[in-house]
Amino acid sequence: MRAVVVGSGGWGTALSMVLCDNGHDVTLWSHNSAKAAEMTRTRENPLLEGVRLPDRLKITGDLSCLEGADLVVSAAPSFAVRETGNRLAPYLRQDSVLVSVSKGIERDTNLRMSQVLQETTNHICKVVALSGPSHAEEVGIRMPTGCVSACPDRTAARFVQDAFMNDYFRIYTSYDIIGVELAAALKNVVALCCGVVTGLGYQDNTKALLMTRAMAELTRLGEQLGGTRRTFGGLAGMGDVIVTCTSMHSRNNRAGILIGQGKTVQQAMEEVGAVVEGYYAAESIHQLAEREQVDMPICRCAYEVLYNGKSARDVVAELMTRAKKDELLETAWL
C-alpha cells in the first residue's frame, strides 16, 4: 500500500516509521524542503533525537508524492489543518482514506479536525481519526502503545487499524469519531491545568482531583455534542488524559508548570518552544461550553487564567469553595 504522511513533526515521523515497519511504501512530506533534505541525509528528525529513520522511508518537500496514495495521514498542528486540507484536496481520490492525527478544535469555527478536512477536501473520501495516549518519543522507539481508529464507516476504521497495527502499536476501532476527537482536544487543556497546579506546588492529591473532575466536564460536553460516554473512559479519553498529565514529554504539561511558577502565558509557550495545543483549545472549549450552555468550571477557570490574566492560585481557591455536590447524582455533573 502507498502511504503518505503529511507533516514531519515528531508524531508524523513516528507514524511514518510504524507504517514502514508494516511493510508499506511510505513517504514523509515536510513543508520545509530544506528540513526534508537534511532528514534524508542524516536519517534523523531532531524532534526524535537518537532515533534512526528507516532507510526505506522516503522524505520530500514535494506534494506530488501524494499522487496515487491509498492512505494519507494529516499530521499538521491544529492551526494548520485547514491549509493542509486545501493542499491535499487536488491529490485525493474517492477510494483514498484520509487519517487525521491532529488534536485540537479549530479556532472560531469550533470544528473538529476531521470536519475541517472534510470541508476543505469537499468530502471526496472517508476521513478517520486516529488518537490515543501516544507520545511520539515512545512510539519512535517501539514502546507498546494503544490508539483508537474512529470513523462512522466501520470499513474505513478497520482499514486504518490494519494499516497501523503491529506488535507494539495496538489499534482499536470505534464508530464514535465525535467523542474521540473531542477527547483528544480537551485533554490538552486538562494537561495544561495539571501543569499549572504542579507549578503552584500542589501534589498528587490535587492532580488526581483535577484530572477526575475535568473528565466529568469533558464527558458532559462530549455527550452534549453527540459523543458516547464510554469513549471518555477509554483510550482516547482517560487514557490520553493520564499520559498527557503525567509526563514531561507533554508540551501542555510543561507550559502549565511554567505558568504556575509565575511565567506569563507567552513566556511559557516561548520557553517550551513548540505548539501548545491546550492554549488554543481552551478558547474553543470556552466558546463551545457557552454555546451549548454546559457548565465547565475547570475549563472556564483555565480560560480565565490563559486569556484574562486571572491568578492561578485564586482560581484554585474558587474551585475548591464551590457549592457542595453529590458525586453520584446527575446534578453533581452540573
Which residue in the list 58, 126, 187, 263 is annotated as catalytic?
187
- Could you say which of 3.90.180.10, 3.30.470.20, 3.60.110.10, 3.40.50.720 is the CATH number of the domain covering 2-175? 3.40.50.720
pLDDT digits (tens, 9 = 90+) for 300-312: 999 999 999 999 9
The pLDDT value given to residue 250: 87
Distance CA 143, CA 257 (A): 26
Q: Does the pLDDT of residue 325 top 90, yes or no?
A: no
Active site residue 187: yes
CB 247 within 8 A of CB 253: yes
Mean pLDDT, residues 123-145: 97
The distance of Cα 126 from the centroid of its chain, to the nearest Å, equals 20
Handedness of CA 311, 315, 316, 321 (dihedral sign): positive
> For the structural domain made of 184-333, what CATH number should be given?
1.10.1040.10
> How far is Cα 216 from Cα 295, in angstroms, rounded to an integer?
11
Q: Does residue 109 carry a pLDDT above 70? A: yes
pLDDT, residue 333, reads 47
> Mean per-residue pLDDT for 149-163?
98
| Kind plus residue range of the DSSP H or E element containing 129 | strand 126-131
pLDDT band at 133 (very low <50, low <70, confident <90, very high): very high
Closest CA to 42 of 27, 31, 53: 53
Q: Residue range 96-110: average pLDDT?
A: 93
SS (H, E, C) 10-75: HHHHHHHHHHHHCCCEEEEECCCHHHHHHHHHHCCCHHHCCCCCCCCCEEECCHHHHCCCCEEEEC
Q: How far apart are the first and last CA of the chain?
A: 48
The one-letter amino acid at 112: R
Radius of gyration of the chain (CA): 20
Euclidean distance between CA atoms 126 and 11, whole angstroms: 21
Quick check: 330 pLDDT over 60? no
Which residue type, as a one-letter code, is found at position 179? G
Lookup: cell for 120: 476543505
The full set of domain ranges for the chain reads: 2-175, 184-333
